[in-house]
Structure 1
Amino acid sequence: MNRAVISEFAGTALLVFFGVGAAAVGAPVIGPTGVALVFGLVLVGLAYTLGPVSGAHLNPAVTLGMLLARRIGPRTAAAYAVAQLAGGVVGAAVLYALAHTIPGFVTHGTFGSNGWGVRSEMGISGAGAFLTETVLTLLLVLVVLGVTRRTAAPGVGGAAAGLTLAAVVFVGFPLTGTGVNPARSLGPALFAGGPALSQVWLFLLAPLVGGALAAGIDRLLHPVAVVALRSAEPLRGTTLRVPAA
């Protein structure tokens, strides 16, 4: 469990550092497509590197989905979520320190954080932002739950999760900046302050709603009777299950 928690902490910190770094520093050069590819490709690499240790959730919404789908237990889920949120803050802190070595770079109120209204490129409303984050997270978590089942093709979980995250970021970037991960949203908001911090609640809550809905859909599509729980390796689909009666 200690190794798994450290894995979730370090992996989330790296995902936030590189992904938010691309959004905060690199977006003017690489554009939304580049930001989406950075998020997705980093997740692919981390999934195959850390998947054998913790399952590489790297997202409290994914962990909630795994919990509600009965792939992991409550204690594991709680430990993972704390590690992920802490990792997101640390990753953002390192990025914040790096950003302040760039002459003239402004972090206050921006810093790759998420938002709606005047902080959205498209001016989306709060209700629209909530719906966007919920639906995009639902897709991401549903894909992760699907590709980590025992019946899924071996070795494709990391690639499928990463490509889905890239697609989700590409769609959501002009609308909300694409959170779909409370750990990704919390860290940058803490350092951006101002409006970013006042709006972060939506990007903590909506992804959890999306993760819960994804778990419900997964249970409807694949009804199972759980006969054993394992605390890790969801990206390898090793939870023991039998078909429901």
Structure 2
Amino acid sequence: MQAVVLAAGEGTRLRPLTEDKPKGMVEVDGKPILTHCFEQLNDLGVDELLVVVGYRKEAIISHYGDEFRGIPVTYEQQREQNGLAHALLTVEKHIDDDFMLMLGDNIFEANLADVVNRHEEERADAAFLVEEVPWDEASRYGVCDTNKYGEITDVVEKPDDPPSNLVMTGFYTFTPAIIPACHLVQPSNRGEYEISEAIDLLIQSGRTIDAIRMNGWRIDVGYPADRDEAERRLQEGKLNEPECEKTVTAEGSD
């Protein structure tokens, strides 16, 4: 699959960390957030990175160039911050098959491969990772409404009165069917073209949508405290890694 990484954000809430760099270049545990994203997508076997840039785009382009660990990187600019559906349409001409979509301001230590595997096994038009968050935080995200069977029936972006505390996490897989859905999206109350509305259009049209519960953790790096928490967790994870067993090779006798 190709992978689209959305990294056009200015990161005003992350200031002063973003005064001289885009949000994706803020370092967490010694490397930019985007490097964490690219490494995970590399582990998932992507064959091309389509990176949507905007604010201080030169910092991203000059840092990564035209490839990352042998994976070709293509850049497109989102000139105005008009939402995730709008950002996705900036790379429309490059999308020729199923693809992954990752928000370039999230740090994941989670079961991303489960989303890709479900997409491929079920041939879903969309699959995405979801998690339960505290109710008072749900309005920060795209919120999933469910029926009594736990099936997702609706998604709504940053609602004032969330219908649930089950939210999208920023990692998705799509078929190209999401592209015409994005074209149909109308500006939200926030004046943005929301990816959640495009997904909702797929749901309402009867398309197959799968939501996979997150196993692990992720942090949306929106504030300096989020960056610090992500770094703490990554470092804690390193400390808890089991030591590799040493292999002793005995020399054979002649």
TM range (shorter): under 0.3
Scaled by the length of structure 1, the TM-score of the pair is: 0.27
TM-score by length of 2: 0.27
**Does 1 or 2 have the higher relative contact order (CA < 8 Å, sep 6+)?**
1
Instruction: Kindly indicate which of the two structures has a greater share of residues assigned to strand.
Output: 2
